[in-house]
Amino acid sequence: MQNLAVAYLKKVFDRKESINSMNSADVEKIVKQVISQMQGTGSAPAPTGAKTVPATARAAVLTKLEHYDIKEFPIPALGDDDILVKVEGCGVCGTDAHEFKRDPFGLIPVVLGHEGTGEIVAMGKNVKKDSAGKPLGIGDKVVTSMIFKDNPDITMYDMNKQNVGGADVYGLIPDDDIHLNGWFADYIVVRGGSSIFNVSDLDLDSRILIEPAAVLIHAVERAKTTGILRFNSRVAVQGCGPIGLLCIAVLRTMGIENIVAIDGEDKRLQFAKEMGAENSVNFKNYKGVEALTEGVKDAFGGYLADFAFQCTGSPIAHANIYKFIRSGGGLCELGFFINGGDATINPHFDICAKEITTVGSWVYTLRDYATTFDFLKRAKAIGLPLNKLITHRFPLDKINEAHETNLSMQGLKIAIINE
| Predicted pLDDT at 52 | 87
SS3 56: strand
| Cα–Cα distance for residue pair 99/102, rounded to 1 Å | 5
Sign of the alpha-carbon torsion through 216, 220, 221, 225: positive
Same domain, residue pair 88 and 49? yes
Contact 89, 208 (CB under 8 A): yes
Of residues 190, 127, 154, the one with CA closest to residue 369: 154
Sign of the alpha-carbon torsion through 311, 316, 318, 323: negative
Note whether residue 237 is domain-resident. yes
Local confidence pLDDT in tens for the 419 residues of the chain: 444 444 444 444 444 344 444 455 454 544 444 444 444 434 444 454 567 899 999 999 999 999 999 999 999 999 999 999 999 999 999 889 999 999 988 999 999 999 999 999 999 999 999 988 999 999 999 999 877 666 665 555 554 456 666 678 999 999 999 999 999 999 999 999 888 999 999 999 999 999 999 999 999 999 999 999 999 999 999 999 999 999 999 999 999 999 999 999 999 999 999 999 999 999 999 999 999 999 999 999 999 999 999 999 999 999 999 999 999 999 999 999 778 899 999 999 999 999 999 999 998 888 888 899 999 999 999 999 999 999 999 999 999 999 999 999 888 999 999 98
As beta bridge partners, residue 61 has 69, 111
| Predicted pLDDT at 266 | 96
Same domain, residue pair 85 and 198? yes
Same domain, residue pair 249 and 272? yes
SS3 416: strand
| Predicted pLDDT at 378 | 97
Same domain, residue pair 94 and 230? no
| Predicted pLDDT at 339 | 85
Same domain, residue pair 351 and 401? no
Please report, for the domain that includes residue 81, its CATH number.
3.90.180.10
Contact 311, 237 (CB under 8 A): yes
Same domain, residue pair 170 and 242? no
Same domain, residue pair 291 and 185? no
Note whether residue 133 is domain-resident. yes
Note whether residue 5 is domain-resident. no
Same domain, residue pair 217 and 198? no
Note whether residue 9 is domain-resident. no
Note whether residue 47 is domain-resident. yes
Note whether residue 372 is domain-resident. no
Same domain, residue pair 73 and 188? yes
Domain count along the chain: 2
| Predicted pLDDT at 167 | 75
- Using N-to-C axis directions, what is the helix angle for 266-274 and 242-253, rounded to 10°? 20
Same domain, residue pair 196 and 279? no
C-alpha distances (whole Å) from 179 to each of 186, 291, 385 are: 12, 52, 36
Query: Which residues have a Cβ under 8 Å from the Cβ of 178 and sit 6 or more positions away?
Result: 76, 189, 191
245-264: b (≥16 Cβ within 10 Å) or e: bbbbbbbbbbebebbbbbbe
How many residues in total does the chain contain? 419
Note whether residue 412 is domain-resident. yes
Note whether residue 27 is domain-resident. no
Q: Quote the domain boundaries for residue 356.
A: 213-360
Of residues 123, 142, 246, the one with CA closest to residue 200: 142
Please report, for the domain that includes residue 356, its CATH number.
3.40.50.720
- Rounded to two decimals, what is the model's pTM? 0.85
Neighbouring C-beta atoms of residue 70, cutoff 10 Å: 16
Query: Which residues have a Cβ under 8 Å from the Cβ of 164 and sit 6 or more positions away?
Result: 145, 146, 154, 363, 364, 365, 366
Same domain, residue pair 281 and 259? yes
Same domain, residue pair 222 and 152? no
